[in-house]
Amino acid sequence: MLDKIISVFEKFGFDPLETPTLEYAETLRGKYGEEEKLIYQFTSLGGDELALKYDQTVPLARVIAQYGPNGSQKIILPFKRYQLQSAFRGENTQKGRYREFLQCDVDIVGSLSQVADTEILALAYEVYQSLGLEVILKVNDRSLLQDIEPKYLSSIDKLNKIGKDGVLNELGNKGLSTDEATRLLTKINSIKPSEHLQTISNYFNELGYPKEILEFDPTLVRGLNYYTGLIFEVVLKSNLISSSLGGGGRYDNLIGMFANLAVPAVGFSVGLDRTIEALEEAGQINVPSTQVTVLVTIFSKDLAQESANTASLLRAKNINTDLWLDLETKLDKQLKYADQKGIPYAVIIGPEEAENKQFTLKDLIKQTQEKVSLEELVNKLGP
């Protein structure tokens, strides 16, 4: 799955980058709005205020400030990078939401062009096409919401999760009367696409992507405060109100917080855990319980060396091989172990097999067995 994602990233001209797991806490503070409470922060024994990275975007902004045009100028703009690393959030864990998770990000830094926005949307669509998932990209323009207080926007963003009544209730808890909350929700629902979004949509269609893939959603907010323009989320075409499989947008002011220089940027992140779950539910991936192909059993203490030699020979042929480790375990217990582990084959080398330079190969899935030579054994088990 990761190979497919990376292949799309690289097809679009992105190069890999890695950043440290730890950042100074001040680097992350003040960048995420209400979500900042989820950052893991602590003081080191040396007295440094540190934090585990919350996402890949803010660390990227720090890197651009340090090594970009206002820094040591080791990074040339525009810069297109992808990043696959863990991020950490103090979440209330639930399906598809964990405290440590792998983020797969792409970003274009240094371009204000609508072509850059379109590239990110096209790349996002092609990632899910490569994985075999039919998706819709819900889009909005954060600038259309700039006159609305952020604390209200975070509630509007939950519309698909908690419904209209849930949103109105949350807005009420934040100080709005029922009438005020209703008017605000009506106002947002009546917003029309910006000229910027229409231009991006036209570019997207002219590149040959289906017109219906982009769907304008005025209630789409995305909770992070650093977004400034295009924002989008990826959802399953078969379930438009499902949790997003990924998302992103334009953040033209974030890097300037570090660099004292306006550096525009736009990016996208694959929600890896939710994407895996969607693929599993669609029956498109079947994760094996083990990567082991065969268990080489030990028939007896006297024949243990024969089994060890056979395991070495199979491994030399790039066959994933497990060797039983105890010299006196009964054979049926060894076979039960292999079956429980999901290992599809077992090799038995008893006195007769050792004398005739043969092997008994048991297919634990089909419940069959046969005697084979070493060459036949390698051919049957080999990749």
Distance (Å, whole) CA 313 – CA 382: 12
Do 202 and 337 lie in one domain? The reply is no
Do 258 and 302 lie in one domain? The reply is no
Whether 170 has a pLDDT exceeding 90, the answer reads: no
Do 273 and 362 lie in one domain? The reply is no
Do 242 and 355 lie in one domain? The reply is no
Question: Where is the domain boundary, 281, 302, 319?
Answer: 281
Express each pLDDT in 84-141 by its tens digit: 999 999 988 877 688 999 999 999 999 999 999 999 999 999 999 999 999 999 999 9
Do 246 and 306 lie in one domain? The reply is no
Do 275 and 314 lie in one domain? The reply is no
201 belongs to a structural domain: yes
| Mean per-residue pLDDT over the chain, rounded | 91
Do 238 and 312 lie in one domain? The reply is no
What is the CB neighbour count within 10 angstroms for residue 116? 23
Question: Where is the domain boundary, 255, 281, 307?
Answer: 281
Do 153 and 176 lie in one domain? The reply is yes
286 belongs to a structural domain: no
Q: ∠ CA(106), CA(108), CA(114), 5° rounding?
A: 120
> Which of 21-25, 33-37, 230-234, 353-357 is predicted least confidently?
33-37
Do 311 and 256 lie in one domain? The reply is no
User: For position 304, which CATH number holds?
Assistant: 3.40.50.800
Question: Where is the domain boundary, 225, 258, 281?
Answer: 281
Domain that residue 240 falls in: 2-281
Where do the DSSP E strands lie in the chain? 15-16, 22-24, 41-43, 49-52, 79-88, 100-109, 135-141, 214-216, 230-236, 246-250, 265-271, 294-296, 321-323, 345-348, 359-363, 368-372
What pLDDT does residue 223 have? 66
Distance (Å, whole) CA 268 – CA 45: 36
Distance (Å, whole) CA 106 – CA 267: 5
Distance (Å, whole) CA 250 – CA 65: 17
Measured in degrees and rounded to the nearest 5, phi and psi for residue 216 equal -70, 130
Express each pLDDT in 309-357 by its tens digit: 999 999 999 999 999 999 999 999 999 999 999 999 999 999 999 999 9
User: For position 80, which CATH number holds?
Assistant: 3.30.930.10
Whether 225 has a pLDDT exceeding 80, the answer reads: no
Express each pLDDT in 148-157 by its tens digit: 887 888 788 7
79 belongs to a structural domain: yes
Q: What's the total number of domains in the chain?
A: 2
pTM above 0.75, yes or no: yes
What pLDDT does residue 224 have? 64
Residue type, 220: L
Residues near 270 by beta carbon (within 8 Å), at least 6 away in sequence: 5, 103, 104, 105, 127, 245, 246
Do 231 and 300 lie in one domain? The reply is no
Do 276 and 360 lie in one domain? The reply is no
Do 233 and 376 lie in one domain? The reply is no
Q: State how far Cα 300 lies from the chain centre.
A: 47
